[in-house]
Structure 1
Amino acid sequence: MPNVLLIEDDPAVGEGLALGLRRHGHRVEVAVDGERGLTAFAAAHPDIVLLDLMLPGIDGFEVCRRIRAAGGVPIIMLTARGDDIDVVGGLEAGADDYVVKPAQPRVLDARIKAVLRRGTPGQERQRESHGALVIDRAALEVSKGDTPVALTPTELRLLLELSRTPGRVFSRQQLLELVWDHDFLGDSRLVDACVQRLRAKIEDRPSAPVYVRTVRGFGYRFGPV
């Protein structure tokens, strides 16, 4: 039963979502602003955070950046619109996924389960090296040289899927299905933002990637190095 931290400033919305998620088996703590959300995050160590972007005081973008800086806890942002700059800003701040409000508890339940599954992918191979990059699929660890690379569950799943078949080209839609479990025409911004964050962690020069390469007009492929 995952522990969920819901940061939502509208009391009615927050309590309604919390009640619905509890009926789906989640333990939910609600914080009504960014400052209380960060305090609750530090104290409760949740498994996942549901974060409204439009918060009083410390806004959702800053809350997202601070939570992401503290570690790899998954973040699903709640946004009033799905086609504006808020989505891009939230993804760049480190969110793993987003849901457009008004959000239904069953939709959030499905997204929560999908995000948490990303931390437990298949372990068909153990340890593999790609140049300086070492991927241990059994331990779910990545290192570059002798230095561990801290990845979020979504970044890790993306790297595992891409590196499973080096040289294969994946469309953004294929990656949405494999990594985000979005089996409908999803938002390619999720993929592009995650690729940017992953490159920043594993590439020597993110602007000239060696591992995660763009196939213009189609998607991405891994190496080969």
Structure 2
Amino acid sequence: MNILVVDDEKLIVKGLKHSLEQQDYKVFVAYNGEEAFQIIESENIDFIILDLMLPDIDGMILCKKIREKYNVPILMLTAKDGDYDKILGFEFGADDYMTKPFNVLELLARIKAITRRLDSEKKKSILSIGSLMINYDERKVFVEEEEKDLTQKEFEILYLLAKNPGRVFTREEIFKYIWEEDPLDVRTIDVHIKNIREKIEKDVKNPKLIKTKWGVGYYFNKI
């Protein structure tokens, strides 16, 4: 895992770098916000340890700037020990918060806890049913490892049905879930289902994944 340490206190950076490398992490270091952002844009950074007080930019602002473009976990370090700063840090996108001076063993434990939680969440965002794989975070659908090009609405309908296998949804329910408004013309659901089947089913005339409950609606077949 690639970790970026952003702090202008060189002794702290040196100590953190040594401790992290002992855990087999690859460590990048930056002493100000500009250096940090250059590294983030040029390297594949998996985790950021970010000091609140930097010489060229406020750590909160940098955290927000990073979060606008990247979904990388951020642990903030600060000499301030106040609830307001913690709350503000979380609002700006930090995943965790530690006050200096800190215990390095605790910091390592928090890094592992955050990465475990995020890995678990990522796995939950992936549905795998037979030869069909749906990656919700990346908005991608694969059938037998071949990516299928679904529209936004097609993807949302497919994901809704697939994560609730066996549950029959009426056309009105699907419309409300996806469009988040009262149904106007529910026949559009039939069109979307037809298009989805053409992209994921082997035999459109005899679909195995998305089934029709005649007179009611649609459901995803339990495999």
* TM-score normalised by L of structure 1: 0.55
Pick from 134, 152, 157 the counterpart of residue 146 of structure 1.
152
Q: Any conservation in 1 of the 2:126–2:136 contact (CA below 8 Å)?
A: no
* C-alpha distance in 2 between matches for 1:118 and 1:138: 20
Q: Decide whether aligned partners of structure 1 residues 123 and 74 sit closer, same or farther in structure 2, where only a CA change above 3 A counts.
A: closer
Query: Who is 2:24 aligned against?
Result: 25
Q: Secondary structure at the match of 2:28?
A: strand
Matches within 5 A, 1:4-153: 4-121=3-120, 123=124, 126=127, 139=135, 141=137, 146=152
Q: Which has the higher contact order (CA 8 A, sep 6+)?
A: 1
Q: Indicate the RMSD between aligned Cα atoms, in angstroms.
A: 3.4
Q: Following TM superposition, by how much is the alpha carbon of 1:125 offset from its aligned partner in structure 2, in angstroms?
A: 9.1
Consecutive aligned runs of 4 or more in structure 1 exceeding 4 Å deviation: 122-125
Give, as a single letter, the amino acid of the residue that structure 2 aligns with 1:146.
Q
Paired residues of 1:123 and 1:138 also in contact (CA < 8 A): no
CA–CA distance in 2 between the matches of 1:103 and 1:29? 20
User: Is the 8 Å Cα contact of residues 33 and 58 (structure 1) preserved in structure 2?
Assistant: yes
How far has the Cα of 1:138 moved from its partner?
Answer: 6.9
CA contact (8 A) 2:125 2:136 kept: no
Could you say if the C-alpha distance between residues 124 and 62 of structure 1 is closer, same or farther in structure 2, counting changes exceeding 3 Å? Answer: closer
Contact 1:34/1:63 (8 A) holds in 2? yes
* Residue 102 of structure 1, CA deviation: 1.4
With over 3 angstroms needed to count, the CA separation of the structure-2 counterparts of 1:80 and 1:120, relative to structure 1, is same
Contact kept? 1:21, 1:105, Cα under 8 Å: no
CA distance in 2 between partners of 1:141 and 1:74 (Å): 15
Change over 3 Å in CA distance of 1:94–1:146 after alignment to 2: same
CA–CA distance in structure 1, aligned partners of residues 5 and 136 of structure 2: 27
Change (3 A) 1:115 1:138: farther
Query: Contact 1:8/1:52 (CA < 8 Å) preserved in 2?
Result: yes
Partners of 2:105 and 2:57 lie apart in 1 by: 28
Structure 1 residue 107 displacement after superposition: 1.6
TM-score (norm 2): 0.55
CA distance in 2, matches of 1:37, 1:99: 19
Q: How far is 1:111 from its partner?
A: 1.1
Rg bigger for which structure?
Answer: 2
Other-structure match for 1:201? none
Would you say the 8 A contact 1:80–1:100 is kept in 2? yes
Q: How far apart are the structure 2 equivalents of 1:82 and 1:69? A: 26
Task: Please give the alpha-carbon distance, in whole angstroms, between the structure 2 residues aligned to 1:79 and 1:71.
Answer: 22
SS state at 2:101 partner: coil
Identity of aligned residues (%): 36
Mean CA deviation greater in 12-21 or 117-126: 117-126
Offset at 1:25?
1.8
Kindly provide the amino acid, as one letter, of the partner of residue 36 in structure 2. G
Instruction: Report the Cα offset of residue 124 of structure 1.
Output: 11
